[in-house]
Amino acid sequence: AHDHYAQHESIRLAAARSGAVVHKIKLFDDYPSISRDEIVDRIRKGISPATRVVGVTWVHSSSGLRLPIRRIADMIAEVNRKRGESDRVLLVVDGVHGIGAVDETVAQLGADFFSAGTHKWIFGPRGTGLIWAKAENWKLLQPVIPSFAEGPYGAWMQERTPGATEEQWVSPGGFHSFEHRWALPAAFAFHRQIGRARVAKRIQDLNSMAKEELAKMSHVQVHTPRDRELSAGLICFDVKGMKPAAVVEKLLAKRVIASESPYAASHARLSPSLLNDEKDVEQALGHVRAMA
């Protein structure tokens, strides 16, 4: 129940094609009780002999919670040590709100597959994104959209099967939005120029400032953990007596852009980023204070 519609719907559609069984688990009972140990333990207990894939979200857009992906990966590695190659559990991560906001590389996380849009924290163009995988895992995929890569295209011309899937074959064929793709290297270069650690610290500093001040407001309930290891750049909160949509509308009237989390249990969200400074954060906080 913690992940985005796009992840759940992708899983549902894949299961419908393959006949796989989908099992969802709760990672915590309520926001105040969130802990790294319990998250890892609940996932461990949710893995059965039939489990082949564990899908998680690095930073939840529903709550702002950041999962301890490295610890989850290490736990799954322990499970896999007792399994054969064909029975191992794969860790698949939706990382859209982590990449560009957290001081960890994708490779350091330990995931088998990692996907993320790059139009959020990376500041790339809309419609761009990436899929990362360990080199040995690409052969496990079956593309659903024909690739124009040389391998499968050449195999088609020679009327033969192309063989095991390779990395570049997962990118769809057809005519591509090269202008968008060409902009991505500049977006990544911008982050590298500043430094990933500096970017992450700046985002954490602004978000910590906002969370601390929001928590002091008697009419506000903050749901995102204050622990820097359990959060990133999203802050989910509620204002007593107001629906999230009303909070967002009032802030927009003051030229503060907030959002509603797109879930059944919705919250208002603020997201201090590299585009902001302390003055921006304080102005937003002042408008939330005025909602008392």
Two tokens, residue 240: 């007593």
Given the DSSP bridges, would you call strands 53-57 and 90-94 parallel, antiparallel or unpaired? parallel
- Which residues touch 157 (CB under 8 Å, ≥6 apart)? none
**What does the pLDDT read at residue 144?**
84
Same domain, 230 and 263: yes
Asked if residues 241 and 68 have their Cβ atoms less than 8 Å apart, the reply is: no
**What does the pLDDT read at residue 1?**
67
Same domain, 159 and 205: no
**What does the pLDDT read at residue 108?**
95
Same domain, 42 and 183: yes
CATH of the domain at 268: 3.90.1150.10
Q: What b/e sequence results for 3-29 when a residue is b if at least 16 CB atoms lie within 10 Å of its CB, and e otherwise?
A: bbeebeebbeeeeeeeeeeeeeeebee
Same domain, 119 and 56: yes
Same domain, 111 and 253: no
Tokens 């301890």 belong to which residue? 68
Domain that holds residue 253: 197-289
User: Residue 241 — left, alpha, or beta (φ > 0 → left; ψ -120 to 50 → alpha)?
Assistant: left
Same domain, 169 and 227: no
Calpha distance 161→71 (Å, rounded) = 39
Number of structural domains the chain divides into: 2
Same domain, 175 and 244: no
Same domain, 168 and 30: yes
DSSP labels, 124-169: --TT-EEEEE-GGGGGG---SS---SHHHHHHHHTTS---S--GGG
**What does the pLDDT read at residue 143?**
87
Strand order in the sheet with 268-270: 220-222, 235-239, 268-270, 259-260
Query: At 108, is the secondary structure helix, strand, or coil?
Result: helix
**What does the pLDDT read at residue 178?**
86
Is 0.75 topped by the overall pTM? Answer: yes
Given the DSSP bridges, would you call strands 220-222 and 235-239 parallel, antiparallel or unpaired? antiparallel
Report the half-sphere exposure of 284 (CA within 13 A, side-chain side). Answer: 27
Asked if residues 235 and 83 have their Cβ atoms less than 8 Å apart, the reply is: no
- Which residues touch 228 (CB under 8 Å, ≥6 apart)? 204, 208
CA angle at 61 for the pair 55 and 66, rounded to the nearest 5°: 65
Q: Which of 156, 178, 193 is the last residue of a domain?
A: 193
**Tens of pLDDT along the chain (292 residues)?**
689 999 999 999 999 999 999 999 999 999 999 999 999 999 999 999 999 999 999 999 999 999 999 999 999 999 999 999 999 999 999 999 999 999 999 999 999 999 999 999 999 999 899 999 999 999 999 888 888 889 999 999 999 999 999 998 888 777 788 889 899 999 999 999 999 999 999 999 999 999 999 999 999 999 999 999 999 999 999 999 999 999 999 999 999 999 999 999 999 999 999 999 999 999 999 999 999 9
**What does the pLDDT read at residue 242?**
98
Find residue 113's DSSP bridge partners: 92, 133
Instruction: For residue 81, give Cα distances in angstroms to 77, 78, 201, 276.
Output: 6, 5, 36, 45
CATH of the domain at 181: 3.40.640.10
